[in-house]
Chains A and B, each alone.
Chain A
Amino acid sequence: MLVEDACMEEAHNHETDELSQQELLEKLDEIIDHYGADKGALIPILQMAQSLFGYLPDPVLSKISARLEKPFSEVAGVVSFYSFFSRTPQGKHQIRVCLGTACYVRGAKEVLTSLKKELGIDLGESTEDRCFSLEVGRCFGACGLAPVAMVGTDVHQRVKPSKMKALLQDYRLSFSSEEEGGEE
């Protein structure tokens, strides 16, 4: 299995919560080794690090900066350029509402407002129980289905502000059963 796949899978797996920070950093080293510490591999390494840790804490960025021999400012520049990267812990389900042109004209902003109200959080924040976090997405390439929102890797098409509560409910249910039941 490729290291990428392993990490992606691991990130989606609840087991990662049990790995210590030290073990995660060792895994990060493996990812960087996999790319031969190639300076050009900054973005894929950041993507995989985010999958692994759930977000990009500063010690992770420092390590990537040191191993790729790239200035910290440059790594930070890339992280702050892409809305996909996050420096704060994310909820289990990351909600991204597309605000691209097609989605925007078909009411994505109202969808976003409804979600903010429903979750009680602002953009870039996570709910207290770490079930959800909310971000603006750039175009997902599904303009014909606008407005589009993604929850984790699920794409929801033609979403309506009034249906947000119901949409969130399914994820909430699975989240709380996991919380109670521990490991699946």
Chain B
Amino acid sequence: MAEIYINGQPCVVEDHVTVLDAARQLGLFLPTLCKMENRSAIGACRLCVVEIEGARTLQVACATPVRDGMEIFTQSRRVREARQMIVELLLSEHCGDCQTCERSGDCELQDIAREMGIREVRFEGERLPCEIDDSTPALIRDSGKCIKCRRCVTVCGDTQAVGALFPQGRGFDTRIGPAFSMDLDEVPCVQCGQCAAVCPVGAITERDHIDGVWEALQDEKKHVVVQTAPAIRAALGECFGYEAGTLVTGKMTSALRMLGFDGVFDTNFTADLTIMEEGTELLNRLKKALVDHAQVALPMFTSCSPGWIRFAEFFYPNFLPNLSTCKSPQQMFGAVAKTYYAKKMGIPAEDLTVVSVMPCTAKKFEAQRSEMNDSGVQDVDYVLTTRELAEMIQSAGIDFKSLKNGKMDAPMGLSSGAADIFANTGGVMEAAIRTAYELVTGRPLPMDNLHVQPVIGLEGIKEAALKIENPLPEWAFLDGVEMRVAVAHGLNNARKVMEAIKSGYKTYHFVEVMTCPGGCIGGGGQPRFTDDSVRLKRINAIYQEDEGKELRTSHNNPQVAQIYKEFLGEPLGERSHHLLHTHYMPAKCPSD
């Protein structure tokens, strides 16, 4: 332990913590535009400078470890003047179209300038040109707004192990971006949007679909339906002043109805459908391997997360046969809405617009994949992030907090708790286990409150094993088999699992991968700023939603039974195969 003095106040902190963390423990938040939780200091923005007794120059708090007896001054005149100077210099070269910037009101640079009382920028510096990269369906980059904090570089390279972004060039001319001056579509970017989630300014944002949605809503010829992913209900409230982890399912439903959607549905419904299809697919693969002794790709990987799909297509093309062929719930919804629902309502698919609200930017990319038009037209037309939906609600003048709880529509609005937990890391796995165990043994999963504890929580890679005993006669071949599963979230963790499987160090039957840390609740389209405490609150809210339902397992969802009876036939049947399944293609990195 070290005894230090912050602004004269003595305090005892652990050895080797940084001055920044020590100050936080005292309830003192030093400004920073680059530091990220659980990541080593970048030291790029210099805003957290402090004065340390005996040091000639100011030191950055984020990269300076404490030592016994250290005297630190965080608000001396010298420190305040230096910080103001730094902010002014940042502003002097920043393309500051604040009134019209997408990040206005949600911008860390703007906040810091306000908090520091910057009233004028004394310097007129040279500015970087605003070069716009709008090459991908999901993300827009604007070099003129970039303050070179390198958070995106850290998250892309370390958290996601993608490495699409890196500082290029040197000095004033440094650009943060793909190799040399390439655009994002020329490099192996998976479009997860974690860069947009951590960007303190408007240098990387999602591609806006708001105008298209308004236009469809105004068009009298169009019947516009909306689906909301489970992660939205646990995060949307944050945009309206609610504490992180407040469930706003009912208010969200009412707000969507007020915006003018003709049908308000739940992606959860197709999450239940996913479990039916994916569970059947897994059992079929196991049967082929264990009974027919056929060559079959195991472990099977989940396929709900489009960033992970793209990652596998870029970096692990040999494992593409291992990916479940199931489309993601978003795409299953689009395909079913434009066939089953359209037919039920007597609306031609061309006149039906499907909007989805997703915690994710990669879903924008997924919706535009050329395979995703099995209904005959593009299955999902527009994808809004949680942030974009909040913006629409605000611009419509809807007083979100005063709304009454609404209910989603039939026939695609009812869902099980198993579908809710798709939002959390480990959730798809737990949902699949709940159903597979019951289908195979005829008994409910013998676990406390149906939770598979080892796959819950924020640990990067989680494993579980489940021994199957006394199965129903048709599944006798599984008797005594120990099912080994793994769960990874954040693509760096996925990469570790892939390497362990590739080298033969680990063998599993089923692996869940979610692209973003924490799962969809930590997606690239969620309200900013997402750290682990926010992730945990959202995760808990989702489990609360699950536990609050009578219906906890996908295969017991009556609307799911209904759609199989009326339309799809059976899981993996001909129509299911056509509408609910897809295929993958190795993607070439242009730099190869």
Contacts and interface: CB of A to CB of B under 8 A. Distances in A.
Contacts of A77: 166-168, 179
B178 interface: yes
Contacts, number: 48
Interface string A65-104: 1100011111111001110000100000000000000000
Nearest to A83: B170
> Could you say which interface size class chain A belongs to?
10 to 19
Contact of A71 (B166, B167, B180, B592): B166
B167 A58 contact: no
Nearest to B189: A73
A73 B592 contact: no
B180 A74 contact: no
Interface in B172-208: 177-180, 187
Residue among A58, A73, A87 with the highest chain B CB neighbour number at 10 A:
A73
Contact of A62 (B157, B166, B170, B591): B591
A80 B163 contact: no
B164 interface: yes
Interface string A45-77: 000000000000010011001100011111111
Given A58-B591, A80-B180, A73 B170 contact: no
Residue among A58, A66, A77 with the highest chain B CB neighbour number at 10 A:
A77
A75 B589 CA distance: 15
A72 B589 contact: yes
A73 B169 contact: no
Contact of A76 (B157, B162, B180, B592): B180
Nearest to B178: A73
> Could you say which interface size class chain B belongs to?
10 to 19
Contact of B168 (A61, A66, A70, A80): A80
Contacts of A81: 167-170
Contacts of A87: 180
A47 B411 CA distance: 65
B233 to A, nearest CB: 36
B164 A62 contact: no
B170 A71 contact: no
B568 interface: no
A73 B589 CA distance: 12
A71 B592 CA distance: 11
Interface string B137-161: 0000000000000000000010000
Interface secondary structure of A, over-half rule: helix
Interface in A134-168: none
Nearest to A77: B166
Contacts of A74: 157, 163, 166
Interface string B442-475: 0000000000000000000000000000000000
Contacts of B264: none
A58 B591 CA distance: 8
A77 B157 CA distance: 13
Contacts of B180: 76, 80, 87
A87 B180 CA distance: 10
Nearest to B161: A71
Contact of B170 (A72, A75, A80): A80
A88 to B, nearest CB: 12
Nearest to B177: A73
B165 interface: yes
Contacts of B178: 73
Given A72-B179, A76-B180, A62 B168 contact: no
Nearest to B591: A72
A80 B324 CA distance: 41
Given A62-B592, A65-B591, A76 B166 contact: yes
B130 to A, nearest CB: 20
Contacts of B179: 72-73, 75-77
B61 to A, nearest CB: 27
B358 to A, nearest CB: 27
B589 A76 contact: no
B164 to A, nearest CB: 6
B539 to A, nearest CB: 30
B157 A71 contact: yes
Contacts of A58: 591
A118 B146 CA distance: 40
Contacts of B589: 72
Nearest to A70: B163
A66 B592 CA distance: 9
A152 to B, nearest CB: 24
B160 to A, nearest CB: 11
Nearest to A72: B591
A80 B167 CA distance: 9
Contacts of A82: 170
A70 B589 CA distance: 14
A18 B268 CA distance: 64
A50 to B, nearest CB: 16
Nearest to B179: A76
Nearest to A73: B166
A71 B167 CA distance: 12
Nearest to A63: B592
A77 to B, nearest CB: 4
A127 B92 CA distance: 39
Residue among B163, B169, B179 with the highest chain A CB neighbour number at 10 A:
B179
B168 A71 contact: no
Interface in B568-592: 589, 591-592
B412 to A, nearest CB: 41
Nearest to B170: A81
Contact of A80 (B165, B169, B592): B169
Sorted nearest first, the 9 A-B pairs with minimum C-beta distance are A71-B163, A76-B179, A73-B166, A77-B166, A72-B591, A73-B179, A81-B170, A74-B166, A80-B169
25 contacts: A58-B591, A62-B591, A62-B592, A65-B591, A70-B163, A71-B162, A71-B164, A72-B589, A73-B163, A73-B164, A73-B166, A73-B168, A73-B187, A74-B157, A75-B179, A76-B166, A76-B168, A76-B180, A77-B168, A80-B169, A80-B170, A81-B168, A81-B169, A81-B170, A82-B170
Interface of A: 58, 61-62, 65-66, 70-77, 80-82, 87
Given A71-B162, A72-B187, A73-B166, 6 more contacts: A71-B157, A74-B166, A76-B168, A77-B179, A80-B168, A87-B180
